[in-house]
């Protein structure tokens, strides 16, 4: 069952065509990787899916319904949660409160409820807290949850972002370079976590430069270069695809983007 269909999507910034007629499909409950050299348009595709940008052309269907033109918070409400390439946590707020942000959409008390503090409102708060703590346990961050988020190590901050995204209760989780800046152990832990998330039935789309991660956990890979999709397939197929190799290795002069297998 297709959970996300990106259909011939184009995005232009001024004169620059960042995403050029990209199409791909995500199946429910699968892990898909989106790779490509720097500047290929990967994060832009993410921003198009989450509604931060609006495509000039094309359509994006989530569970068969078009999400183009919907505001970001509505798309989150429909079931797409994300993490950011540069970590965007609420640094001055506590670890717990960061995750509670994700719970926001599943609660409903407003200013009046806040002032009246009815039984129902208090129960909702307790449920939200329980959910937040559960997600923190799941990613392995149950210690010192009332410390400000900025006190966490880089790797743990990335995990916290994942916990916040999970708290939204998504059907599709979009991870933008989740292993960025992580060491070997942290990366291994992350890969285990992603497998666990998949077991819950959540589809995952991730951008990652660390090829070991991509090749090991992704069932399908989509490759972008210069805004266009140049390949799509299983890790095995992609490894051998000459266009992919050329995109990364380029000509003899610029061998800077070689993926590390």
Partner 1 sequence: MEEFFQQLTNGLAVGGIYALIALGYTMVYGVLKLINFAHGDLFSTGAYLGLTILISFGLTDRLGPVAGVLLLALMVMGLLAIVGTMLERIAYRPLRESPRLSAVVSALGASIFLQNTLMFVYGARFQVYPHDILPDTALDLFGIDIPIVRMLILLASLVLMAALYLFIQKTRTGTAIRAVAIDQRAARLMGIDVNRVILIVFLVGPALGGVAGLMVGLLYGQINFTMGWIYGLKAFTAAILGGIGNIPGAMVGGVLLGVIEALGAAYISIAWKDAIAFFVLILILIVRPTGLLGERVAEKI
Partner 2 sequence: MNRRRITFAVVFVVLAVIPFFLNAYWVDVLNSVGLYAILGLSLNLIVGHAGLFNLGHAAFFAVGAYTAAILNTSFGIPILWLLPLSGLAAGLFAVLIARPVIHLRGDYLCIVTIGLGEIVRIALINDVFGITGGANGIFGIARPVLFGFTIRSPQAFYYLIWSFAALTVFLFHRLEHSRFGRALNYLREDETAAEGSGIDTGSYKLVIFGIGAFWAGMAGDIYAAKMTIIAPESFSFWESVLIFTLVILGGAGSIPGVILGAFLIVGLPEIFRDFANARMLVFGAAMMAMMIFRPEGILPAKPRAYRLADVRNLVAKEGTK
Q: Which residues bind partner 1 (CB under 8 A)?
A: 47, 52-53
Assess 101 for contact with partner 2 (CB under 8 A).
yes
Q: Would you state the structure tokens that stand for residue 38, as one six-digit string?
A: 């720097």
Contact pick of 13, 56, 69, 73 for partner 2 (by CB under 8 A): 73
Contact pick of 111, 184, 251, 252 for partner 2 (by CB under 8 A): 111
Q: Residue 89 in contact with residue 163, Cβ under 8 Å?
A: no
Contacts to partner 2 from residues 199-238, by CB under 8 A: none
Residue window 120-149: x/- pattern of binding to partner 2, with contact defined by CB under 8 A: -x--xxx-xxxx-xxx-xx------xx-x-
Specify which residues 81 forms β-bridges with. 173
C-beta of 29: minimal distance to partner 1 in Å?
31
Assess 168 for contact with partner 2 (CB under 8 A).
yes
Beta strands in 69-146 (DSSP E): 80-82
Assess 57 for contact with partner 2 (CB under 8 A).
no
Q: Would you state the structure tokens that stand for residue 117, as one six-digit string?
A: 């503090």
C-beta of 115: minimal distance to partner 2 in Å?
5
- Residue 234: which residues within 8 A CB-CB, separation 6 or more? 219, 220, 221
The residue among 42 and 131 lying less far from partner 1, judged by its C-beta, is 42
C-beta of 13: minimal distance to partner 1 in Å?
9
Assess 54 for contact with partner 2 (CB under 8 A).
no
What percentage of the chain's residues is helix, strand, coil (to nearest 5)? 40, 25, 35
Assess 118 for contact with partner 2 (CB under 8 A).
no
d(CA 131, CA 147): 18
The residue among 55 and 102 lying less far from partner 2, judged by its C-beta, is 102
C-beta of 145: minimal distance to partner 2 in Å?
8
Region for 180 from its dihedrals, namely left if φ exceeds 0, alpha if ψ lies in -120 to 50, beta otherwise = beta
d(CA 232, CA 58): 19
Q: How far apart are the first and last CA of the chain?
A: 31
Q: What is the DSSP letter of 173?
A: E
C-beta of 253: minimal distance to partner 2 in Å?
38
Q: Residue 193 in contact with residue 161, Cβ under 8 Å?
A: no
Pairing mode, if any, of strands 203-207 and 31-35? Answer: parallel
Name the site residues for partner 2 (rule: CB under 8 A): 50, 52, 71-74, 76-77, 81-82, 84, 88-94, 96-97, 100-102, 104-105, 107, 109-111, 113-115, 117, 121, 124-126, 128-131, 133-135, 137-138, 145-146, 148, 164-165, 167-168
């Amino acid at each position: 069952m297709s959970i996300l269909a990106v259909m011939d999507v184009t995005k232009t910034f001024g004169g620059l065509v960042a995403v050029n007629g990209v199409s791909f499909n995500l199946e429910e409950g699968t892990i898909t990787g989106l790779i490509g050299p720097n500047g290929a348009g990967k994060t832009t595709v993410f921003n198009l899916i989450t509604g931060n940008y609006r495509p000039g052309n094309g359509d994006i269907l989530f569970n068969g319904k078009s999400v183009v033109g919907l505001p970001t918070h509505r798309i989150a409400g429909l079931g797409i949660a994300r993490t950011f390439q540069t970590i965007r946590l609420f640094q001055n707020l506590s670890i717990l409160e960061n995750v509670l942000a994700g719970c926001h959409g599943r609660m409903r008390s407003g200013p009046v409820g806040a002032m009246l503090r009815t039984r129902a409102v208090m129960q909702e708060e307790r449920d939200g807290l329980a959910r937040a703590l559960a997600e923190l346990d799941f990613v392995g961050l149950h210690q010192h949850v009332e410390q400000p988020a900025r006190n966490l190590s880089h790797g743990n901050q990335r995990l916290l972002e994942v916990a916040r995204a999970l708290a939204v209760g998504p059907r599709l989780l979009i991870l933008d370079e989740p292993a960025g800046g992580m060491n070997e152990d942290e990366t291994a832990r992350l890969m285990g976590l992603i497998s666990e998330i998949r077991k819950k039935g959540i589809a995952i789309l991730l951008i990652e430069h660390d090829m070991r991660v991509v090749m090991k956990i992704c069932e399908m890979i989509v490759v972008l270069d210069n805004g266009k999709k140049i390949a799509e397939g299983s890790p095995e197929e992609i490894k051998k695809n000459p266009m992919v190799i050329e995109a990364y290795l380029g000509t003899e002069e610029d061998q800077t983007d070689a993926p590390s297998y």
